[in-house]
Structure 1
Amino acid sequence: MNTETDSDKGRDPGDARPSEDYAGFDALPAVEKAGLEQSADAPRFDGDVSALPDRACWALQNLLTRRYVSGDRQPQLWAWVLEYQDALRVRLSELDLRLRIVDEVEVAYVEQAGYDSRWGRKILKRETIHTYDAILALHLAKHARASRDEHVIITREEIHELFAGVTNTIDRDLALFDKRIGRAIDKLEEIEFLRKHRDDPDTFTVSPVISAVMTASVITDLQRQFEQFVGSGDVPPDPAGRESAAGRDEDHDGIDDEGDDW
């Protein structure tokens, strides 16, 4: 049955007009995308007077509460740190803190700026390092720098072998020696220098953050102290510790580490 009307005659078939039933759709307001994040200009809470966008605030909060922000582990936070780094440096400087960004390993962290003032207060807590923690960190940092692999794998047995030069001159009690190494492994897991494999608790990945925090000057300083430590056969005095936003105040025996913070 032909239902063509006079008005339809001569019309190009490809020039079909929408039905009048849908003609009003163009006049409808645009629909917001589902799940959009809160506007950067919207207050996050009652009384919010922040001058920074939400994402910059969240990046700042994480820099102050984490030991570091990693592009590998926290890609979204890492992106925000890079995007707002200039504003973050200003905010951190107000607290006598420096922002360190190591692009090569995609790691960002803060460190305490040191200067003399009766009014200044240290925001970061002191991260105290055992003697064996420092020795293990030193060897792992050198191992990571020498390796060309992105992820360095090391076993518990290989970690014990790193201390072979120590046991001959210092630790005669092998049980106590093994216990100290075990505590060092636990400490480096805690500060996220080592990551234990889920399927094998005796295998670890050396975190790339160790290359960012253990700078060449820190390695040189610790190497010198390690050689003095091994040569003397004595346990050195208590350390002053390292600064960390998420650190804890503890008293341990350790290498004197008044060098760079890590």
Structure 2
Amino acid sequence: MNSSTDVRGDHGNDRSSDEYAGFDELPAVEKARPDESPGAPRFEGDVSALPDRACWALQNLLTRRYVSGDRAPQLWAWVTEYQDALRVRLSELDLRLRIVDEVEVAFVEQAGYDSRWGRKILKRETINTYDAILALHLAKYMRASRDEHVIITTEEIHELFAGVTNTIDRDLALFDKRIGRAIDKLEEMDFLRKHRDDPDTFTVSPVISAVMTASVITDLQRQFEQFIGSGDPGDDVVDSPLPADGAGGDRNSGDAEAEGDEW
């Protein structure tokens, strides 16, 4: 047994010195990373230079108001992973990518500059005056609270409009309908999330903290004060500075959605 062991050891030393000599001098082969290169064509004529996941992230950024980590975690992961490439693609369309890591929300906004050749890719969000008032108050409500999960009831939402009902809207039945429509709109925009077990209780979405920046709040507050001072009942459809749902062309053809005062 001992002699057999010695023989194997001798052969092993010979192979190590001859057969494997120079392996350390061979160039290292880097493993391919398929996520960083385009995959198989998604359709006939596909010439994309981006990975599929980056393309899907871009498509969703252009067709959603925003991508939220708690509602679409996979899309959120792709947006953050490919954000540098996405910023380049969006800049080519005069769009900015906004990523708010604290609440895991990403959205795009139109960049403004003077050019007769430039075209607005994003359509504007058109909302009623009461929608804008509720968005303003919810944003301030959220900022005043240190809790990430802010709960608000229908009754408390009505109380936010106390200044309006006392000075402008004295028809209480119509007033309640306007507030109800505003609640529905902000649910659609994912600013409010209704509780399944209690339809009169809502969670204020963290999305509102991302899109309602200090400058937006200041602008809406100024417009709100003008609205209170005007005595107008507030049925106008207005443009808001909030992210819109989907891409669209310029709103300069006089269609009904673009009419009204700008907020």
User: Partner residue of 2:26?
Assistant: none
Give the secondary structure class of the aligned counterpart of 1:134.
Answer: helix
Q: How many equivalent pairs are there?
A: 224
Give the secondary structure class of the aligned counterpart of 2:199.
Answer: coil
Within the candidate set 142, 160, 163, 2:161 is matched to 163
Provide the rounded CA distance (Å) in 2 between the counterparts of 1:212 and 1:185. Answer: 19
User: Partner residue of 1:220?
Assistant: 218
User: Partner residue of 2:262?
Assistant: 256
Provide the rounded CA distance (Å) in 1 between the counterparts of 2:53 and 2:199. Answer: 36
Whether contact under 8 Å (1:194, 1:204) holds in the other structure is yes
Whether contact under 8 Å (2:169, 2:233) holds in the other structure is no
TM-score, normalised relative to structure 1: 0.78
Provide the rounded CA distance (Å) in 2 between the counterparts of 1:235 and 1:254. Answer: 13
Provide the rounded CA distance (Å) in 2 between the counterparts of 1:166 and 1:245. Answer: 28
User: Partner residue of 1:4?
Assistant: none
Give the secondary structure class of the aligned counterpart of 1:230.
Answer: helix
Once the two structures are superposed, residues 98-117 of structure 1 have per-residue CA deviations (whole angstroms, 9 ceiling, x without a partner) of 10011111100001111222
User: Partner residue of 2:42?
Assistant: 44
Give the secondary structure class of the aligned counterpart of 2:103.
Answer: coil
User: Partner residue of 1:173?
Assistant: 171
1:186 maps to 2:184 = yes
Provide the rounded CA distance (Å) in 2 between the counterparts of 1:167 and 1:203. Answer: 22
Please state how far the C-alpha of 1:251 moved relative to its aligned partner: 3.6
User: Partner residue of 2:6?
Assistant: none
User: Partner residue of 2:197?
Assistant: 199
User: Partner residue of 2:207?
Assistant: 209
Provide the rounded CA distance (Å) in 2 between the counterparts of 1:201 and 1:229. Answer: 30
Once the two structures are superposed, residues 168-216 of structure 1 have per-residue CA deviations (whole angstroms, 9 ceiling, x without a partner) of 1001100110011011111111111111112221111111110111001
Provide the rounded CA distance (Å) in 2 between the counterparts of 1:250 and 1:153. Answer: 35
Distance 1:158 1:151, change over 3 A: same
User: Partner residue of 2:238?
Assistant: 239
Please state how far the C-alpha of 1:126 moved relative to its aligned partner: 1.6
Once the two structures are superposed, residues 61-111 of structure 1 have per-residue CA deviations (whole angstroms, 9 ceiling, x without a partner) of 110111100111111111111110010001011111110011111100001
Whether contact under 8 Å (1:132, 1:254) holds in the other structure is no
User: Partner residue of 1:81?
Assistant: 79
Whether contact under 8 Å (1:239, 1:254) holds in the other structure is yes
Which residue identity lines up with residue 43 of structure 2 in the other structure?
F
Distance 1:247 1:179, change over 3 A: farther
TM-score, normalised relative to structure 2: 0.78
Whether contact under 8 Å (1:235, 1:254) holds in the other structure is no
User: Partner residue of 1:17?
Assistant: none
Provide the rounded CA distance (Å) in 1 between the counterparts of 2:98 and 2:178. Answer: 31
Give the secondary structure class of the aligned counterpart of 2:167.
Answer: coil
Give the secondary structure class of the aligned counterpart of 1:153.
Answer: strand
Give the alignment's Cα RMSD to 1 decimal. 2.6
Provide the rounded CA distance (Å) in 2 between the counterparts of 1:123 and 1:253. Answer: 19
User: Whose helix proportion is higher, 1 or 2?
Assistant: 2
Gaps of 5+ in 1: 1-6, 8-36, 258-262
User: Partner residue of 1:21?
Assistant: none
Provide the rounded CA distance (Å) in 2 between the counterparts of 1:131 and 1:49. Answer: 45
Once the two structures are overlaid, the 10-residue window that deviates more, 239-248 or 54-63, is: 239-248
Please state how far the C-alpha of 1:241 moved relative to its aligned partner: 3.9
Whether contact under 8 Å (1:193, 1:206) holds in the other structure is yes
